[in-house]
Amino acid sequence: MSFEKIPTVPTADEVLDRAFRRAAKKIPEKKNKKKANEEFVQAAYLSVHDKLVAVIQSFPNLSEEPQFYQDIVEIMWTTDRLKKSLGAAGWAARWAKDHRGGLAKDVRYASESNALAARKKAVARLASVVHQIEDDLLFLNEVRNVLRKLPVVEDVFTIVVAGFPNVGKSSFIRRVSSAEPEIASYPFTTKGIIIGHCYAGRQKIQLIDTPGLLDRPGIERNAIERQALSAIVNIADILLFILDPSGHCGYPLDDQLNLLEEVQGIVSVPVLIVANKCDVEILPGYLSMSTGSGEGVEKVLAELLVHRQDWVPEKPGIDQANLL
């Protein structure tokens, strides 16, 4: 699923402003001031409740999404932190619901002269509760801002393309994709992640880039970057490692082979190694292609797709026939 549509999470003050604006509409039309104050409280509490419930419901249930998203949340903030903040919003929503009737009653049974004071007390308590989750709301909005820019990763057979910068990873994905690949952000790098798709018969295949994560020796990678790399690698059903023996990419072949060895140590899926830019230089003993001219590209794709027969979804989907 795409997270693009998660709405902005309001701040505590925005939740309250909205609630009081709605509540204020109740006042002028009522002759009976006590009744008006009671309805003000009812409306404000209801508005807070409904808004917070909407916030919670607009967040994806990560356990129903591909593992990739949970990994990202875990790396950036931890899923516990997210659960805690959603829980806090839920607590405030429930509080508003549970106290709405009682505090409105306080206004109703107050003396004429005390009704406004009772309303103010109810409003102050509501404001205090909503302010208690101020940081949680800010945090949820931060998560929302990252989630909505993430690439759309699907639970389909996935080819992850690795190799030094400029070896031809993006060119490969562009060449085999049936539509223009999408560029999304990956929060751990400044480079965009490229995702393309192609079809093998009716089976959808996903191709994904590893931006900015494999462009230097692993020893220079910090803990977060190692996790960020593994989140992408975890999606892979097969890894395509592209070498550029021509050296046009700017990295000596020895460095590329060292990186390859390192990558082979990280992944548990098969690794297909291909020497690119065969229009410039051929590396004996390796499968070769040119993502420039297109030579050999179909054969490489076919080799990758051999492995798709073993593919199983992360979770079995619902079989519609079983529902009937």
User: Binding segment for ligand GDP among 79-87, 109-117, 159-167, 311-319 (CB under 6 A)?
Assistant: 159-167
Task: State in angstroms the smallest separation of the CB of 175 from ligand GDP.
Answer: 9
Task: Find the shortest distance in angstroms from Cβ 168 to ligand GDP.
Answer: 4
Q: What is the DSSP string of 44-55?
A: HHHHHHHHHHHH
Which amino acid, residue 133?
I
Strands 192-200 and 238-243: unpaired
Report how far residue 163's alpha carbon sits from residue 242's, in angstroms, rounded to the nearest whole number.
5
Q: Which of residues 147-186 bind Mg ion (CB under 5 A)?
A: 169-170
Residues 86 and 59 sit within 8 Å (Cβ to Cβ): yes
Q: Which is nearer to ligand GDP, 138 or 302 (CB)?
A: 302
- Smallest CA-to-CA distance from 61 within 89, 86, 94, 92 is with 86
Contact status: 291 vs Mg ion (CB under 5 A): no
Ramachandran assignment for 254, one of left (phi > 0), alpha (psi -120 to 50 degrees), beta (any other): alpha
Select the span of 81-89, 126-134, 135-143, 166-174 touching ligand GDP (CB under 6 A): 166-174
**Least distance from C-beta 93 to Mg ion, angstroms?**
44
Residue type, 303: E
Which residue is closest to Mg ion by CB? 170
- Of the listed pieces 43-51, 87-95, 121-129, 162-170, which binds ligand GDP according to CB under 6 A? 162-170
Smallest separation (angstroms) from Mg ion to the CB of 209: 6
Binds 292, which of ligand GDP, Mg ion, none (CB < 5 to 8 A, cut-off by type)? Answer: ligand GDP
Q: In whole angstroms, how close is the CB of 211 to Mg ion at the nearest point?
A: 7
Residue whose CB is less far from ligand GDP, 26 or 277: 277
Residue pair 205/198 in contact (Cβ under 8 Å)? The answer is: yes
SS3 212: coil
Q: According to the binding rule CB under 6 A, does residue 280 interact with ligand GDP?
A: yes
Q: Which of residues 163 and 196 has its CB atom nearest to ligand GDP in the complex?
A: 163
User: Residue with the closest Cβ to ligand GDP?
Assistant: 292
List the Cα angle 171/175/180 in 5-degree steps.
95
How far apart CA 240 and CA 233 sit, in angstroms, is 11
Give the Cα separation of 213 and 230 in Å (integer): 10
Residue span binding ligand GDP (CB under 6 A) among the ranges 74-82, 117-125, 167-175, 301-309: 167-175
**Four-point Cα dihedral 263, 266, 270, 275, nearest 10:** 0
Nearest CA among 46, 49, 37 for reference residue 104: 37
210 binds ligand GDP (CB under 6 A): no
Pair 296, 287: CB distance under 8 Å: yes
- The first and second tokens of residue 101, run together, are 């009737």
Counting contacts by CB under 6 A, is residue 290 touching ligand GDP? yes
Q: Which of 62, 92, 291, 304 binds ligand GDP (CB under 6 A)?
A: 291
CB-wise, 298 or 310, nearer to ligand GDP? 298
At closest approach, how far in Å is the CB of 281 from ligand GDP?
A: 9
Task: Please identify, using beta-carbon distances, which residue of 294 and 313 lies nearer to ligand GDP.
Answer: 294
**How far apart are the C-alpha atoms of 272 and 241, rounded to whole Å?**
6
Q: Which residues bind Mg ion (CB under 5 A)?
A: 169-170
- Contact residues: ligand GDP, CB under 6 A: 163, 165-171, 276-277, 279-280, 290-292
